[in-house]
Structure formats: C-alpha cells, structure tokens
Amino acid sequence: MYLGLVLAGGAAPSVFAHGALTRNFELQDEIEAKDDLDKNPDGEAAALSLSIKTYIEDVESFLNALHKLADEKKFNASLDAFEVTQTTMLPCVPANKTGSYTANAFESNNTALKPSLEWFSKLLTDGYSLADCLPNQRFNGNEATNSKFTFKYADSALSVQVSVQKASPEIAKKVSTDLVTTFAKFTASSEQIVRQKILENTSFRFSNDQVFVITRLPRAALDPLLAPNAK
C-alpha cells in the first residue's frame, strides 16, 4: 500500500541541508509493534474503515503540528526541508511483538522539527494493518508484514507515503476498490479545514501487488492550514 500526501507550489528551499538532523540508528533495529489495530473489528469493511480513519487522523495531526510550529515561528514553509524514510517488518505470530526497521533517512535543516518528525514516524510504522502476512527471510521464513513510509518537505512539496505489500495483484486490486468505497463514507465539517482538504484530495489505485492511496494538496491550500488560528 502506498499512501501519498503532496502539497505543491510556492517558493522552495534552494538547498536541502542533508544530514543536518540525523537520528542515530542501526540499519536493522528493533521496535515494538503497534497493536491498536491488531484486533480485527467486525468484518473486513470495518477493518478498512478503521485503517483509513487512523491514517486520516495521523496526517491531520501532523499537519496541525506543523501549523503549531509555524505559529511559533519554528517552521518556515519557504525555507525548511526534511525527509524521513523507513522500512518496517512486523511478525504475524501474536506471541512475538518484536519487529525490525531499516531507517533509510532522517534529515532536516531545522532541528526544531525533530520531535515532531520522530513522533510522526512512530505513527506510521505498522502500515495501518493493511499489509498481508507473507513468508519473510528476516524471520526465518515465518510470516511477517512489510511496509515502508517516506514523508518529506522539499522543493515546495510536502509528501507522506506509506507502501504496503499485498499477497497478489488480484488482492491489491480488490483492496484498492474496497478502499475507494470505504473512503467515500468519510466526511468533515466546515470547521475541520485540514481534514476536509485531506478528504477532497485523496485517490486510490493499485499496481501489481501494491495499493496506492495518494493525497495531493496545492501549496495554495497549505498556506491557510499553517496560518494562525487554522484548525
């Protein structure tokens, strides 16, 4: 599954200060699997609904966090840049809650963003329980889920991408179709500006054994979200 949030347009930082903010990590480290979505609700549709709801709330919370930082003059959309990328594998055996991640990038030219970037990265590690359990060499052939996320702000664009592997292209196609149907049921009030923009600019597709959920917002939509008193 691949989830993308893109905010484009406007002035861009001329230089991305790679490595200015780099988390210390081992390429293969261990994490505790999130279990808030481990318990499957009543039926597949309810499980998809819960996954989408959690994703929307997480992206909304991150945008609100950026708004707060901008309000405190700790985030400048015209000058700042960041990129965080991580691959996560979680075992499917209930008794074993320890997974692993490969942290590929954790960079920013603004150290004030570090707590928010670390916090948001922790929300993305389980792939929203949308990955299938498949044999995994990392766990001696036992089944595990495999997901990847990348979120970055550079070249006048903010993007959040989460990819999740499905068991087959046929399953990926079905999940993509079901996500479209489920997502259409979500609404936002006029006061929920950030959520409304996410809902209005999200689409779904699939390719091979990957499902893609893509949300794109123009830079013109980002500016009011970061303005004082924006909700």
The 3-class secondary structure across the chain, one letter per residue, is CEEEEEEECCCCCCCCCCCCCCCCCCCCEEEECCCCCCCCCCCHHHHHHHHHHHHHHHHHHHHHHHHHHHHCCCCCCCCCCEEEEEEEEEECCCCCCEEEEEEEEEEECCHHHHHHHHHHHHHCCCHHHCCCCEECHHHCCCEEEEEEEEEEEECCEEEEEEEEECCCHHHHHHHHHHHHHHHCCCCCCCCCHHHHHHHHCEEEEEECCEEEEEEEEEHHHHHHHHCCCCC
Instruction: Say if 164 falls within a structural domain.
Output: yes
Instruction: Say if 88 falls within a structural domain.
Output: yes
The number of distinct structural domains making up the chain is 1
Tell me the per-residue pLDDT of 177-191, one tens digit each, with 9 for 90 and over. Answer: 999 999 999 999 888
Tell me the per-residue pLDDT of 77-89, one tens digit each, with 9 for 90 and over. Answer: 888 999 999 999 9
Q: What pLDDT is stored for residue 18 in this prediction? A: 35
* Tokens 């901008």, residue located: 70
Q: Report pTM.
A: 0.80
Q: What pLDDT is stored for residue 43 in this prediction? A: 77
Q: Which domain holds residue 181?
A: 2-226
Q: Which residues of the chain register pLDDT less than 50? A: 1-41
Q: What pLDDT is stored for residue 34 in this prediction? A: 40
Q: What pLDDT is stored for residue 94 in this prediction? A: 65
